[in-house]
Chains A and B, each alone.
Chain A
Amino acid sequence: MDSQNKALLNYCISLGDDSLTLGHRLSEWCSNGPFLEEDLALTNVALDFIGRARMFYGYAAEIEGKGRSEDDLAYLRDCREYRNFLINELPNGDFAFTMSRQLMVDIFDMGFFEALMQSSDTRLSAIAAKAIKESRYHLRRSQDWIIRLGDGTTESHERTQRAFNELWGYTAELFEAPKEEQQLIDAGIAVDRVALKATWMSAMRAILKQATLELPAQDWAIGGGREGQHTEHLGFLLAELQFLQRAYPGQQW
């Protein structure tokens, strides 16, 4: 496998990992939502992300061509082999925390998939075209909730502000390009995420203002997800996600 194919394989796995970890976190709200309608809505969004993970893993498995399936990629890799952004693996916290993270990710996804639709890789651009339709709806929800919560009661305002403060440093790595990605960007395959930051910031600023929330201070940043360096939380997430396949290898429905 040449270096560009290897980079493309890792790229697809990274994008699959982003979708799977966040989809899993959202699925944890199933039966725990604040009320029935929101419970259903959250799990619908979870399914969208898990569907995305399948598309990226499926493509990755084809590129690799070693007989590994999308399931193998999801269930049989350990923490260090996962390459998702850290923000996706963080525990849900309270509802304000979940929706704050969702808003950050949704705005990012809108810019990211719009750019990925222009990819010279037709498979990636097709996935992006499907994903952006979902993201448009996800953003409509998360934006609506953040404005409600931020501009709501004193308690909801405080909790939401705290969530943004706690999450802010995790957004830095969304806009950093690892070396390996650069050759894919040069080839017109991957998205130059560094270029997405300005639009992301201005969308973020506008929504936070409407929600009467403060833009958090940018005085800390944490990253490493794309290199397989994770928070302690990913191990616990994978332990639950992978338990069945680890305990009963090859088990099927």
Chain B
Amino acid sequence: MNQQNLPLFEIFVRSKRGLDHRHVGSLHAEDPVQAMDYARDVYLRRSEGISVWVVRSSDITASQESDVESFLDPMDDKPYRHATHYKLPKEVDNM
């Protein structure tokens, strides 16, 4: 089998309830069903998660490195844009 012909998939794993799915890596597979099986074998054999998403890498539209300045500038000179002055109650674990 020629692996170069196999599409690439990105794997996202949610490690526990209340947390978001996090990107853990990528793998090759024939289709999403097989990618799901391999995700289990490659990334989930040590109780790493409770939920998995697989996404065809080609379906992801990514931002461009060259656009960073105009596109992702955090505008640090406008502090009112940042929600840093609020105190979170202790019960809110993951925000």
Contact = CB atoms under 8 A, between A and B. Distances in A.
Interface of A: 34-38, 40-41, 44, 137, 140-141, 144, 148
Contact of B41 (A35, A37, A148): A37
10 contacts: A35-B1, A35-B6, A36-B28, A37-B38, A38-B38, A41-B38, A41-B42, A144-B34, A144-B37, A148-B30
Given A40-B42, A44-B45, A35 B37 contact: no
A38 B41 CA distance: 9
Contacts, number: 31
A37 B26 CA distance: 10
A36 B6 CA distance: 12
A37 B45 contact: no
B28 A35 contact: yes
A164 to B, nearest CB: 20
Contacts of B6: 35
Interface of B: 1, 3, 6, 27-30, 33-34, 37-38, 40-42, 45
Given A36-B28, A37-B42, A148-B30, A140 B1 contact: no
Given A34-B1, A35-B6, A35-B28, A140 B37 contact: yes
Given A35-B1, A41-B38, A41-B42, 13 more contacts: A35-B3, A36-B27, A36-B28, A37-B28, A37-B29, A37-B38, A40-B42, A41-B37, A44-B45, A141-B37, A144-B33, A144-B34, A144-B37
A29 to B, nearest CB: 13
Contacts of A44: 41, 45
Contacts of A34: 1
Nearest to B30: A148
Nearest to B2: A35
